[in-house]
Structure 1
Amino acid sequence: MKRNFLFLIFILLFCFLYAKEEIIVPRLAAPPAIDGVISEGEWDKAIIIDKFYQTSPGDNTEPSEKTEFFVGYDDKYLYFLAKCYAKDTGIIRDFHCSRDAIYTTDRIFIFLDTFYSNQQAYYVGANPNGEQADGIVINDIDPSIDLFYESSSNITDYGYLVEIALPFKSIKYKSGRNVSWGFFLKRHIPHKNEEITCFPVKRGGGNYYDNYGIIKFENIPAKMNLKLIPAVIGNYTENEDKLLNETGTETNFEPEMNIFFEPNSNLTMKATINPDFNIIEADALNIDVNNRFPLFYTEKRPFFIEQTNPFYTDINIFYTRQIVAPEWGAKLSGTFGKYSVLGLAALDEKAPAERFFDEEDFEGKSEDTPFVFTSVARKLDGGDSRIRLAGALRKFNEYENFVLNLDTNFRITNEINFEGQLAASSNEELDENTNGYGYATELNFYNGTWFLHNFAKGLTKDFTADLGFISETDINYFKNRIEYQLHSKTDEDKIRYMEIASTQAVKYDYALSDVMETYWEVMLGGIFKSTFEFWTGCEMMKIDYAGKDNHVYYPWLCVEYYPLKFLGGEIVLVGGENLWYGDEAEIGDYRKFETTLFVRPTNNLDIEFRQKYHETVSFYIARTYEAKVKFQFHKNFWIRAILQYSNNDIFVYDNKSKDIALYPLFTYKPNANTAIYLGATRNEFKSKPLSQRELLEDTQDTMYFLKISYSFDMM
């Protein structure tokens, strides 16, 4: 009896120590005006949150500034008011920014785990000008989605305030009576490198969502939402084929239709017809010289960006930029209790056969090519773990490529997390059918001071994922990393964060008979109170290439400094010796110099300069220069121009190339789905890495475009 009593006391004590704080959100009889002004009585019925913690640099210590937060709701909206106090209002960083670019200003964020899943959350935020940043958080922050919500801010005599109204129809959520969501608030004070949160944050391992509190609603109505988003697109394209030395032009003017239907708050169906999937924002300028494998570019096209059930795995079997020019697309995603589903289908217009086949019989052929992807996931262990099954299909004529995937994430303890993946592929070609297999595992330990990372991945030679991004096959790759971290404890500490780390890796062929590559890096660095960061280290590699072992090394230094509200920059220096991936393996002295300068002469004007210089002596010099100028008239209206210049000398090929391009962009975007774009962008197709090509690009298209879209809310 005594033993049972003590056990009961232990359980009650455990629940008390780890219980999440609950906040009852009141229903507001009259909605507050989102105008950046606090009118008398409009926030009186909202609940007030005024206990905050400094979680960086301090460890749940008293914040340097006071913060008050107000929360309420009605049948259509969630309402938030943040009163952010500042002892010196003159140093509030309040320069104007476009959407999702507020991360150098003072700002507040609201995180909502709307299914109380302990796995992912929406976030919405704003700065002192009411400009917005939003997205989802899974393992990392993903700003690619755009939610519709209203925000308005104002600089006051005590600091600044932010008002936000988030429509329920903008998010997916658990509805009904006595509903609980995960909830978290964060304020950033950039000139102090300070983060303030509404709940204590445990440094170390565990699920970060364990730091969230709970907000409870008496009753949230279910929603039904139908949006029609027509658009018209006009473009003029200049085509250049550098292999054939041919140029041409093309003019198009086409309609587009997007349909969003949500029969309830758990399920979303999307369809797009005749979509224009050019990238409004040009890709960043990268150096593509002496790369052994193709470069990876992130997805930016709105239809493909998934907010509910994003799919990421170490073996990348789902890379939507493989769908280049779809005639149509359809997508379904939803959450049903412990299960979540994602399905996507698209028809890629006139996909060239050379993307999928090497046989000469396919040379010059193209077909409308369907792609299909599906996944089903189930939560385990209260939401901290999951298991997921997925499949991907590409069909070109009668030839198919199919990939089956099983992956899991399992939290063993608060400090230890395991991820695993198994994948199998079947690929049909003209003369043969091949099967391939792959695996990946990741085991991490983190307790706030020590971080231990172990990773393994293997792919057989014939593994093929045409809807994925697979840079190489016939490998077994093993990596481990150990980090020692030192965190500041108070606001007075000069060093905010310091890290010492070592990474080791080895790559074999799949049969484990040959060592293809070994890697070792040691590094140290830190973040200091004066917005100064310093990192240095050395990478050492042995690479099996062209029949021999090649030893290279790269000592490096990275410095970031943002001393003033309107000025900051970064410098990267790398030296050592580098391997030239030519017909033969040759090594030359290596120099890499990259700089970035940010200048903000006024609150409305943002200027950014980037320069890259890469040289392997006697083999090549690659230079790129990029200037980006943006003038923000209003949070919904801005003009941006990007000037890019590249100059490459490939000595071993006796080849020189120069390219200059200007990408202007006029944007008016009152919400996520209503917008006017006028500008230019560029698409490049590279059939293989440069080490296997004679020119820097195979084809290059410059597109001048006008796109107008409008969102009609039908229900």
Structure 2
Amino acid sequence: MRWIIALIFLSCVCCVGFAETPQLLIPKIDQKITINDFAGMHPRPDLVGKLAVVEGFVESTPTDGGVPSQKTVVYLAYDDNQMYVVFVCFDNDPHKISSAITRRENFGEDEDWIEVYFDTFDDQRRAYCFSTNAYGVQWDSRYSEANGYSAATAGYGGHQPSFDALWYSDGKITDQGYIIWMAIPFKSIRFPHGTQQLWRTLFGRSIPRTNEYSSWPHVSKQIQGMLTQTSELKGLKNISPGKSMQFIPYSSFRSFRLLDQEATPPRFISNKADTSVGIDAKFVLKDAFVFDTTFNPDFSQVESDVPQVTVNQRFEVFFPEKRPFFLENAQYFETPLDLVFTRRIADPQYGARLTGKSGPYTIAEMFTNDEAPGKQQIGDTPPSGDNAYFGIVRFTRDIATQSYVGALFTNRTFENDT
């Protein structure tokens, strides 16, 4: 009798575990998928049976565990180079779909949008997020669980929108709803080096007119954390970003004439060959580690900061990092307290970074110089004319489900320090 009870108990535990951890098997295909393959809100007949299908979205807001007002179906597949994700979002009142064609990462919460998360290291701590509105306008980020999902408010604060990946999307509003097509190249994301991959994933849809957010799997407000409620994603085999190397050289030339009014008589000072050259380089090592280096970087093309009010502010303002050299795996430098703020490195002339993750370990190293401190000092006051040198090393080790231990080393020295 005891053995029978024990077997029944173990069976129940297994069933509960399976229910709490859904699994999704993604197939590999040998053809490209486009948005036109889903005309009529259904895949082409020759694609039926070749794609993974996700249905059964569940509400998180406004009713936790409720049935969504609109049906959503997601189709997935992959080939040697990229992942395909297609959202088919049905809507009984398609004329009420709220969406606008705008610039990248500029659509609002008051628009209809979808999102997909990929936890490529299966650590339930960090994930890539790819999102679009109904017209396919892109928004992407790196999501960190450490300071992210709040079960009390079903809010997401751990997004780092400064992450900008190269991926493709398209959207189309129809008389039955809207369709979103995504193609995410493997070279745009980082994942473990190996023959078989085990990722985690989650799909979400927002309908603002009913204040509704639904997802698969269900993200419950009663459970702390979002990535712990994701589905396992299996079936990815023999994928790699390839020999991912990126070089971005630049050169600029200018010629000018200035009037020297202190001279008697005044005369023109000219420079007919003011030249500046530089390069940024990126190397992906073993799929999961990234080595970045830069020489005389040109940040003139970086998007300007949004102005902030500084009048009568007790504390200094903080601006998000947007410079490409500092963005790759920036979350690996994070600490519970903000101890690393790379915007303080104002005028680097060269630098190198190594970041990545292997199993439960993450490593982030950076060395760079900065000419700004020496330029700000006048006369012989130290550090006038000196370069500053920054060295940062961050190491963490994941423990249990949501815990970790880590260490941070930072150092700043000046060129003529004795």
**Distance (Å, rounded) in 2 between the aligned partners of 1:88 and 1:178:** 43
Q: Which residue of 2 aligns with 1:80?
A: 85
Contact 2:35 2:179 in 1 (8 A): no
Q: Which residue of 2 aligns with 1:219?
A: 237
**Distance (Å, rounded) in 2 between the aligned partners of 1:34 and 1:262:** 31
Is 1:13 matched up with 2:29? no
Is 1:396 matched up with 2:414? yes
Q: Deviations over 1:269-318 (max 9, x none)?
A: 11111112347333233222222332222212122123364332343321
Q: 1:77 to 1:364 in 2, by over 3 A?
A: closer
Q: What letter corresponds to residue 17 of structure 1 in structure 2?
A: V
**Distance (Å, rounded) in 1 between the aligned partners of 2:250 and 2:237:** 37
Q: 1:83 to 1:234 in 2, by over 3 A?
A: farther
Q: Deviations over 1:411-468 (max 9, x none)?
A: xxxxxxxxxxxxxxxxxxx9xxxxxxxxxxxxxxxxxxxxxxxxxxxxxxxxxxxxxx
Contact 1:99 1:131 in 2 (8 A): yes
Q: 1:299 to 1:309 in 2, by over 3 A?
A: closer
Contact 2:389 2:414 in 1 (8 A): yes
Task: Note the C-alpha offset of 1:78.
Answer: 0.6
Q: Which residue of 2 aligns with 1:107?
A: 113
Look up the SS of the partner of 1:310 in the other structure.
Answer: helix
Q: Which residue of 2 aligns with 1:24?
A: 25
Look up the SS of the partner of 1:17 in the other structure.
Answer: helix
Contact 1:54 1:197 in 2 (8 A): yes
Is 1:157 matched up with 2:178? no
Contact 1:207 1:384 in 2 (8 A): no
Q: 1:373 to 1:47 in 2, by over 3 A?
A: same
Is 1:124 matched up with 2:130? yes
Q: Which residue of 2 aligns with 1:47?
A: 52
Q: 1:5 to 1:34 in 2, by over 3 A?
A: same
**Distance (Å, rounded) in 2 between the aligned partners of 1:71 and 1:349:** 49
Look up the SS of the partner of 2:66 in the other structure.
Answer: coil
Q: What letter corresponds to residue 32 of structure 1 in structure 2?
A: I
Q: 1:364 to 1:349 in 2, by over 3 A?
A: closer
Q: 1:334 to 1:215 in 2, by over 3 A?
A: same
**Distance (Å, rounded) in 2 between the aligned partners of 1:363 and 1:337:** 45
**Distance (Å, rounded) in 1 between the aligned partners of 2:9 and 2:232:** 24
Look up the SS of the partner of 2:395 in the other structure.
Answer: strand
Greater helix proportion: 2
**Distance (Å, rounded) in 2 between the aligned partners of 1:353 and 1:8:** 74
Task: Note the C-alpha offset of 1:326.
Answer: 0.6
Match of 1:56 among 58, 61, 67: 61
Q: Which residue of 2 aligns with 1:137?
A: 143
Q: What letter corresponds to residue 357 of structure 2 in structure 1?
A: T
Q: Deviations over 1:144-187 (max 9, x none)?
A: 11111111111112111011111111100135344211100011
Is 1:263 matched up with 2:317? no
**Distance (Å, rounded) in 2 between the aligned partners of 1:188 and 1:268:** 34
Number of corresponding residues: 382
Q: What letter corresponds to residue 16 of structure 1 in structure 2?
A: C
**Distance (Å, rounded) in 2 between the aligned partners of 1:317 and 1:144:** 18
**Distance (Å, rounded) in 2 between the aligned partners of 1:168 and 1:142:** 20
**Distance (Å, rounded) in 1 between the aligned partners of 2:60 and 2:24:** 21
Q: What letter corresponds to residue 120 of structure 1 in structure 2?
A: R
Task: Note the C-alpha offset of 1:108.
Answer: 1.1
Q: Which residue of 1 aligns with 2:264?
A: none
Q: 1:126 to 1:290 in 2, by over 3 A?
A: closer
Look up the SS of the partner of 1:351 in the other structure.
Answer: helix
Look up the SS of the partner of 1:90 in the other structure.
Answer: helix
Look up the SS of the partner of 1:342 in the other structure.
Answer: strand
> What are the residue-to-residue correspondences of 1:211-610 with 2, within 5 Å?
211-222=229-240, 223-232=242-251, 254-278=276-300, 280-307=302-329, 309-352=331-374, 362=381, 365-381=384-400, 383-399=401-417
Contact 1:353 1:363 in 2 (8 A): no
Q: Deviations over 1:596-654 (max 9, x none)?
A: xxxxxxxxxxxxxxxxxxxxxxxxxxxxxxxxxxxxxxxxxxxxxxxxxxxxxxxxxxx
**Distance (Å, rounded) in 2 between the aligned partners of 1:109 and 1:71:** 14
Q: Which residue of 2 aligns with 1:171?
A: 189
Look up the SS of the partner of 1:179 in the other structure.
Answer: coil
Look up the SS of the partner of 2:371 in the other structure.
Answer: strand
Say which one has the larger Rg.
1
Q: What letter corresponds to residue 309 of structure 2 in structure 1?
A: I
Contact 1:266 1:334 in 2 (8 A): yes
Task: Note the C-alpha offset of 1:68.
Answer: 0.8
Q: 1:18 to 1:351 in 2, by over 3 A?
A: same
Task: Note the C-alpha offset of 1:29.
Answer: 2.2
**Distance (Å, rounded) in 2 between the aligned partners of 1:198 and 1:21:** 9
**Distance (Å, rounded) in 2 between the aligned partners of 1:229 and 1:279:** 12
Look up the SS of the partner of 2:125 in the other structure.
Answer: coil
Contact 1:107 1:187 in 2 (8 A): yes
Look up the SS of the partner of 1:219 in the other structure.
Answer: coil
Q: What letter corresponds to residue 124 of structure 1 in structure 2?
A: F
**Distance (Å, rounded) in 1 between the aligned partners of 2:309 and 2:371:** 29
Task: Note the C-alpha offset of 1:352.
Answer: 2.8
Q: What letter corresponds to residue 338 of structure 1 in structure 2?
A: P
Task: Note the C-alpha offset of 1:194.
Answer: 1.1
Q: 1:125 to 1:350 in 2, by over 3 A?
A: closer
Greater strand proportion: 1
Contact 2:252 2:277 in 1 (8 A): yes
Contact 1:309 1:333 in 2 (8 A): no
Q: 1:199 to 1:292 in 2, by over 3 A?
A: same
- TM-score with structure 1 setting the length: 0.50
Is 1:180 matched up with 2:198? yes
Task: Note the C-alpha offset of 1:350.
Answer: 4.7
Structure 1 range deviating more: 337-346 or 293-302: 293-302
Task: Note the C-alpha offset of 1:252.
Answer: 6.8
Q: Which residue of 2 aligns with 1:65?
A: 70
Q: Deviations over 1:237-258 (max 9, x none)?
A: xxxxxxxxxxxxx997633311
Contact 2:55 2:72 in 1 (8 A): yes
- TM-score with structure 2 setting the length: 0.83
Higher RCO structure (Cα 8 Å, ≥6 apart): 2
